[in-house]
Structure 1
Amino acid sequence: MLVCSCFAVSDRTLRKVIGAGAHDVEEIGDHCGAGTGCGGCVEEIEELLDETVPHRAQLIA
């Protein structure tokens, strides 16, 4: 599924970037550009990070 339309980044690509060590939207943007355009996908990227990175939500709080 396409998450970032500005840079045509899919959820599959985002999962790979997260799996490679990206732990926040800024790091993801550095790797693939997602979240650095209009910003419309940032909330979805945050949700994906919360699902994928164990205990991330607790670390931010």
Structure 2
Amino acid sequence: MYVCLCHGVTDRTIREAAENGVSSMRQLGKELGVGTQCGRCASTARQILRESQTPDYLKLADMLAQPA
């Protein structure tokens, strides 16, 4: 799903950035431009970033990354 229409950023892109070490909205803005133009995406992007940092999500992502 597109989160930031101004910069064409999806929820998947935000999750990938979180997996690569992005941990704040400031970093997300610098890396992807999220929340730097009209700002309408900021609350949704923040929520996705937080979800991506929860232990349950990290455990699931780790399980999915391993071959079956």
TM-score (norm 2): 0.74
Unmatched runs of 5 consecutive residues or more in structure 2: 56-68
Once the two structures are TM-superposed, the CA of residue 14 in structure 1 deviates from its matched residue by 0.8
* Structure 1 runs (4+) greater than 3 angstroms displaced: none
C-alpha distance in structure 1 between counterparts of 2:19 and 2:7, whole Å: 19
Q: 1:15 maps to which residue?
A: 15
Are 1:35 and 2:35 an aligned pair?
A: yes
Partner amino acid, structure 1, of 2:23: H
Q: 2:2 maps to which residue?
A: 2
Q: 1:59 maps to which residue?
A: none
Identity in percent: 35
Measured against aligned partners, the alpha-carbon deviations of 1:5-57 in whole angstroms (never above 9, x if no partner) come to 110101111111111111111101111111111110000011112211127xx
Q: Secondary structure at the match of 2:3?
A: strand
- Count of aligned pairs: 55
Q: Secondary structure at the match of 1:29?
A: helix
Q: 1:46 maps to which residue?
A: 46
Q: Tell which structure's C-alpha radius of gyration is larger.
A: 2
Unmatched runs of 5 consecutive residues or more in structure 1: 56-61
